C-alpha cells in the first residue's frame, strides 16, 4: 500500500513539474541588497559584492537602500545598485538560443542620490538596448527577448556624461523552445503581405502585452512571470466590442500555442463584435490603437486567438487588419487549430510603425461568414519593438555554386539508380515470397502511428462503435451491380475499386479486397475502427464495411470529379484548372494531411501521397484518399521493419533507401512532388522523356535552382500565375523535397506557405504583373504543349517500363 502511495506521489509531482516551465538558465538578481527576496514565488538573490562574486564586476558601484519606502512597494524595489562609472553583470549561459532579459527600475530618493536624475545606457553583449535612459516616477519594467549565442552574457550599465546609472533587479532566463519561430512571419504593409524572415536574430523589446476582454494577469499567474493588462483603454470605439468569457480550460494542442506562449486566462477571455447594439451596422470592425514611439521602426505583433464564441467548428471567419492594411484575410480558426474548438493559437505579424504614434489593430467579419454568424474575436495581443531594426526584409536568394548543382544532379542520378535496383531486388524478393505463401499477398497491416500502435489505441477506447457501419454483402452486390467491370473506377493495392449506389441513393466507392483470404482480419478491424472516427472535410470518409463471405470490403464516400491527376494532364482535361483552383486544391490536400499527422488520430502516415490519391469533389474541394490501408508488409529487411512500403515510384522519400522507414516527412516529400505536378502539369515519372527529365522532382528542382522555374510551368497557366505566388510555391515545394526528412517542413508549415502563396496570388497590389511578362514560351514549354497525355498514355508507358517493378502489385 505504502509503495503504491509513494508511486502516486511521485507521479503527481512529476505531473506538476511537467506543467510548470523550468528555464535552463535562470538568474534573478536583487540589486544593491544583502538579502535574498522572494517575489511571485521566485527568489531574487543578492548581488552584494564579495570576493569572487559571480555576477557583478564593478569597481565603484554603490548599494543604495530606500530608508522610507512607500507601504505597498515590493521589497525588490527598496534597494538599487548605483553605477558611477561603467559597471557590468556577467552570467554564464548553459544554453544557446532565445532568452528573456528584464530590468526593474524604481527611482527612489535617498540622501546621496535622487535616482530620478539618473541617465544611462544599457548594453547586452555589446548591443545597445537602452540609450540615455531616464526612469520615470513609477516602477518601470523593461523586457527584452533576444537570442544569445555565447557562453557568457554581459550586461553593461554606462552612465551618461558625469551622471550615474542604476538598477533594482535583473532577470535573465531561457525562453521556452519555439518561443520565437522564424518561419512564415507575415510582414504587413501597403504592398500586401510578404514573408519576413529571420526575426529571431532581432532584439525585441516588449511594448504592450494585452489580455483582451479579460482582467490584469500578474506574474504570479503567468507561466513566464509576465504581466498582461486589460484592453479597454485601447479600444477606439468601446460600443463595438463585447466581452466573451469561457470557464473551460482551453484545449492546448501540439502544434498550436502552449501555456508558455500565453497562459489559460488569456485564451479564456476575448472581445467579440457587439452585435446587440442595433445602432451599429451589421458589419463593422473592432479596433484598438496602441501607442508606440513616433518613428518608423519594425514591430512584431503577436495576436492570440481561441474560438470561445462559436458553438461548433467552421462558423467563424474574420479578417485581421494592422495599420489599416489587410494582415490576414479569412482567418479560419478551425483550420489553424487542427479542427478542435477552443484551441489556442497565435499568429505573428511584422509591421512598420509611423509618425502617427499608434499601431492600429482591427478585426472584422470576413466575406466568408454567413449573415447569421457574423463575428470576429481577439483574445490577446503583444507588441514588441525591434530594437536594432536591421533591415533584412530584402531576401537575397542565394545561388548555388555550380559544383553544388552538379553534385545534386549526379546525386539525383545515383539515387534514381539505387531506386531502380532496390525496386528490382524488392520485386524479386516479393516473387519468392509470393511463391512461398500466395495468401500473404493480400493482407492488412495496421495503421502506423508515430507513438504506439493503433491496436493499443483502439483498445484504450474500448469501443466497437464502428460495427454499426457494417453493410450486408447483398447490399454491396446490388450497389455495384454485382461488381460490374464497367463500374471499375480504379485499382488499389489490395484490389479493385467500383463505383456504386447504395439503397438510399448515396454514391459510394467500393474497395474490394481480393477474395479468398481471411488473413489480417483483426488488423482489418483495427483499421476500420480508426478510419471510422476520422471525419474531415479534406479526407475521404469511410461510409461502411463488409466482411461476409471471406470478403473484406470498404465503402467510401464517392468523390465526384475523381483524381486530381486527371485534371492536370492525361485524358483531355475539359477545362484546365486555373492557378487559384490548383492552389486551393493543394491547400485542401495539405489540410487533410496535416490533420492525419497531427489531428485526432495523431500521427497517421499516409505513405502513398500522389496525384491519384487526391480526389476532387463537385465544388473542387480536395479530399485525400487511400490513407491507412496498406499492402503486405515489406520484404526488405523484413524481420525488423514494421513499415510497409506503400509509396509509388517517383514519389518515394529518398531517405527511405537509407533508413528503410517511412515517416510523416516522407508524406511531405511525396506532397512536394505533387506540388510540382500541379505546377508543371506533367507526371511524376515520364519514361518517354530524356533522362534528365524523367523524374519530375529532380528536373523541377534543377530549373528552380537556375532561377528559371517559370520556364517549366504548365503552358495552361502561363499568364495566370503572379511571380511572387510562383516563387513562394516553388520554394515551398523545394523545401518539401529536401534530401533529409529533418530539413523538410511539417505539413502545418507547408499549409501555411501555400495559403501565403494564395494570398500573394490574390493580393490586389501586384495585379498588374503576371508571369507572362517574364515568360516567353520556352522550348521546354512548347515541347510539352505538343505532347499529349491522352488516355492516361503516360501511365501505361510508366507501367510498361516499370512493369518488372510493379507487376505483383496491381497498382
Q: List residues near ligand NAG by CB under 6 A.
A: 35-36, 45-46, 95-96, 149-151, 198, 201, 215, 217, 220-221, 239, 265, 277, 279, 283-285, 321, 324, 362, 364, 390, 392
Q: CB of 256 within 8 A of CB of 178?
A: no
Rounded least distance, CB 202 to ligand NAG, Å: 7
Residue closer to ligand NAG (CB basis): 35 or 578: 35
Rounded least distance, CB 374 to ligand NAG, Å: 9
**Left, alpha or beta for 480 (phi > 0: left; psi -120 to 50: alpha)?**
alpha
Rounded least distance, CB 454 to ligand NAG, Å: 39
Residue closer to ligand NAG (CB basis): 112 or 150: 150
- DSSP run (H or E) holding 403: helix 402-436
Q: CB of 148 within 8 A of CB of 101?
A: no
Rounded least distance, CB 702 to ligand NAG, Å: 23
Residue closer to ligand NAG (CB basis): 151 or 437: 151
Residue closer to ligand NAG (CB basis): 172 or 509: 172
Q: CB of 374 within 8 A of CB of 283?
A: yes
Q: What are phi and psi of 147, to 5 degrees?
A: -90, 125
C-alpha cell at 389: 531594426
Rounded least distance, CB 324 to ligand NAG, Å: 4
CB atoms within 10 A of CB 473: 14
C-alpha cell at 195: 514573408
The alpha helices in 601-705, defined as continuous H runs, are 655-659, 664-680, 691-694, 696-705
Rounded least distance, CB 681 to ligand NAG, Å: 33
Give dist(CA 248, CA 307) in Å, integer: 12
Report the Cα–Cα distance between both ends of the chain, in Å, rounded: 59
Distance between alpha carbon 557 and the CA centroid of its chain, in Å?
29
Cell 527600475 belongs to residue? 105
Residue closer to ligand NAG (CB basis): 198 or 482: 198
Rounded least distance, CB 285 to ligand NAG, Å: 4
Task: Please list, in sequence order, all residues whose beta carbon lies within 8 angstroms of the beta carbon of residue 468, skipping any fewer than 6 positions away.
Answer: none
Q: Give, in order, the Cα–Cα distances in Å from 767 to each of 217, 330, 442, 758, 781.
A: 45, 20, 53, 13, 24
Helix pair angle (402-436, 696-705), 10° resolution = 170
Residue closer to ligand NAG (CB basis): 52 or 779: 52
Clarify whether 608 is annotated catalytic: yes
By CB atoms closer than 10 A (0-12, 13-18, 19+), residue 456 is exposed
Kindly compute the dihedral angle of the four CA atoms of residues 758, 761, 764, 767, in this order, to the nearest 10 degrees: -170
Q: What are phi and psi of 112, to 5 degrees?
A: -85, -30
Using DSSP bridges, classify how beta strands 325-332 and 317-322 pair: parallel, antiparallel or unpaired: antiparallel
Select which of 608, 626, 710, 749 is catalytic: 608
Rounded least distance, CB 412 to ligand NAG, Å: 25
Rounded least distance, CB 99 to ligand NAG, Å: 12
Nearest to 651 by CA among 697, 690, 606: 697
Say which DSSP state 715 is in.
Answer: G
Residue closer to ligand NAG (CB basis): 396 or 767: 396
Say which DSSP state 742 is in.
Answer: G
Render 74-91 in DSSP notation, one character per residue: -GGGGEEEEESS-EEEEE
Which residues carry out catalysis? 608
Amino acid at each position: 500500500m505504502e509503495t503504491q502511495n509513494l508511486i502516486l506521489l511521485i507521479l503527481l509531482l512529476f505531473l506538476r513539474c511537467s506543467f510548470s516551465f523550468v528555464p535552463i538558465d535562470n538568474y534573478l538578481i536583487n540589486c544593491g541588497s544583502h538579502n535574498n527576496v522572494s517575489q511571485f514565488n521566485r527568489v531574487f538573490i543578492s548581488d552584494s559584492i564579495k570576493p569572487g562574486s559571480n555576477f557583478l564586476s564593478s569597481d565603484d558601484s554603490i548599494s543604495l537602500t530606500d530608508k522610507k519606502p512607500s507601504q505597498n512597494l515590493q521589497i525588490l524595489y527598496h534597494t538599487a545598485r548605483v553605477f558611477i562609472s561603467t559597471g557590468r553583470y556577467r552570467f554564464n549561459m548553459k544554453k544557446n538560443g532565445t532568452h528573456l532579459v528584464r530590468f526593474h527600475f524604481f527611482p527612489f530618493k535617498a540622501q546621496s542620490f535622487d535616482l530620478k536624475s539618473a541617465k544611462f545606457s544599457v548594453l547586452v553583449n555589446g548591443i545597445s538596448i537602452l540609450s540615455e535612459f531616464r526612469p520615470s516616477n513609477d516602477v518601470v519594467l523593461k523586457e527584452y527577448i533576444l537570442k544569445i549565442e555565447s557562453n557568457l552574457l554581459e550586461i553593461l550599465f554606462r552612465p551618461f556624461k558625469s551622471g550615474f546609472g542604476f538598477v533594482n533587479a535583473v532577470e535573465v532566463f531561457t525562453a521556452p523552445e519555439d518561443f520565437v519561430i522564424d518561419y512564415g512571419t507575415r510582414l504587413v504593409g501597403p504592398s500586401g503581405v510578404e514573408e519576413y524572415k529571420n526575426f529571431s536574430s532581432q532584439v525585441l523589446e516588449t511594448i504592450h502585452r494585452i489580455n483582451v476582454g479579460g482582467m490584469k494577469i500578474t506574474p504570479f499567474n503567468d507561466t513566464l512571470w509576465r504581466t498582461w493588462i486589460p484592453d479597454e483603454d485601447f479600444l477606439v470605439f468601446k460600443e463595438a466590442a463585447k466581452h466573451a468569457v469561457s470557464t473551460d480550460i482551453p484545449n492546448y494542442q501540439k502544434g498550436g500555442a502552449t501555456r508558455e506562449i500565453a497562459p489559460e486566462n488569456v485564451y479564456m477571455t476575448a472581445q467579440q463584435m457587439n452585435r446587440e447594439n442595433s445602432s451599429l451596422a451589421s458589419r463593422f470592425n473592432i479596433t484598438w490603437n496602441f501607442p508606440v514611439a513616433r518613428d518608423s521602426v519594425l514591430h512584431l505583433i503577436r495576436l492570440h486567438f481561441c474560438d470561445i464564441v462559436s458553438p461548433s467548428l467552421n462558423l467563424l471567419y474574420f479578417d485581421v487588419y494592422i495599420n489599416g492594411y489587410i494582415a490576414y484575410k479569412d482567418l479560419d480558426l478551425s483550420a489553424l487549430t487542427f479542427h478542435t474548438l477552443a484551441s489556442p493559437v497565435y499568429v505573428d505579424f511584422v509591421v512598420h510603425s509611423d509618425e502617427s504614434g499608434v499601431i492600429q489593430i482591427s478585426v472584422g467579419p470576413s466575406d466568408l461568414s454567413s449573415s447569421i454568424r457574423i463575428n470576429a474575436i481577439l483574445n490577446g495581443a503583444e507588441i514588441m519593438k525591434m530594437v536594432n531594426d536591421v533591415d533584412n526584409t530584402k531576401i537575397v536568394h542565394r545561388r548555388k555554386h555550380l559544383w553544388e548543382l552538379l553534385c545534386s544532379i549526379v546525386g539525383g542520378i545515383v539515387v534514381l539508380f539505387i531506386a531502380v535496383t532496390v525496386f528490382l531486388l524488392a520485386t524479386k524478393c516479393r516473387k519468392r515470397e509470393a511463391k512461398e505463401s500466395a495468401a500473404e499477398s493480400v493482407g492488412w497491416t495496421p495503421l502506423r502511428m508515430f507513438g504506439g500502435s493503433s491496436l493499443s489505441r483502439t483498445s484504450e477506447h474500448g469501443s466497437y462503435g464502428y460495427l454499426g457501419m457494417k453493410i450486408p454483402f447483398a447490399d454491396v452486390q446490388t450497389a455495384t451491380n454485382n461488381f460490374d467491370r464497367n463500374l471499375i473506377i480504379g485499382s488499389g493495392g489490395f484490389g479493385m475499386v467500383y463505383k456504386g449506389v447504395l439503397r438510399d441513393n448515396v454514391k459510394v466507392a467500393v474497395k474490394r479486397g481480393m477474395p479468398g483470404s481471411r488473413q489480417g482480419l483483426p488488423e482489418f478491424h483495427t483499421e476500420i475502427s480508426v478510419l471510422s472516427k476520422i471525419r474531415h472535410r479534406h479526407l475521404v470518409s469511410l461510409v461502411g464495411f463488409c466482411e461476409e463471405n471471406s470478403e473484406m470490403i470498404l465503402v467510401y464516400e464517392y468523390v465526384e470529379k475523381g483524381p486530381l491527376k486527371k485534371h492536370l494532364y492525361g485524358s483531355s482535361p475539359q477545362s484546365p484548372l486555373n492557378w487559384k483552383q490548383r492552389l486551393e486544391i493543394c491547400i485542401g490536400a495539405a489540410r487533410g494531411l496535416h490533420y492525419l499527422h497531427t489531428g485526432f488520430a495523431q500521427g497517421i502516415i499516409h505513405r502513398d501521397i500522389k496525384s491519384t490519391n487526391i480526389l476532387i469533389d463537385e465544388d473542387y474541394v480536395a479530399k485525400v484518399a487511400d490513407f491507412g490501408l496498406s499492402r503486405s508488409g515489406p520484404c526488405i529487411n523484413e524481420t525488423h521493419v514494421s513499415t510497409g512500403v506503400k509509396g509509388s515510384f517517383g514519389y518515394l522519400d529518398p531517405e527511405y533507401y537509407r533508413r528503410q522507414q517511412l515517416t510523416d516527412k516522407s508524406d511531405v516529400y511525396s506532397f512536394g512532388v505533387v506540388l510540382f505536378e500541379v505546377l508543371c502539369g506533367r507526371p511524376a515519372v515520364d519514361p518517354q522523356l530524356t533522362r534528365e527529365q524523367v523524374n519530375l522532382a529532380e528536373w523541377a528542382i534543377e530549373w528552380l535552382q537556375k532561377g528559371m522555374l517559370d520556364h517549366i510551368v504548365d503552358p495552361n497557366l502561363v499568364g495566370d500565375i503572379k511571380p511572387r505566388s510562383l516563387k513562394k510555391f516553388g520554394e515551398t515545394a523545394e523545401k518539401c523535397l529536401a534530401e533529409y526528412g529533418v530539413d523538410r517542413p511539417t505539413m502545418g508549415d507547408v499549409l501555411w506557405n501555400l495559403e501565403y502563396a494564395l494570398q500573394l496570388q490574390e493580393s490586389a497590389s501586384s495585379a498588374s504583373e503576371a508571369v507572362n511578362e517574364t515568360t516567353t514560351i520556352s522550348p521546354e514549354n512548347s515541347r510539352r504543349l505538343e505532347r499529349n497525355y491522352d488516355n492516361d498514355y503516360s501511365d501505361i508507358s510508366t507501367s510498361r517500363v516499370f512493369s518488372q517493378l510493379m507487376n505483383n502489385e496491381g497498382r
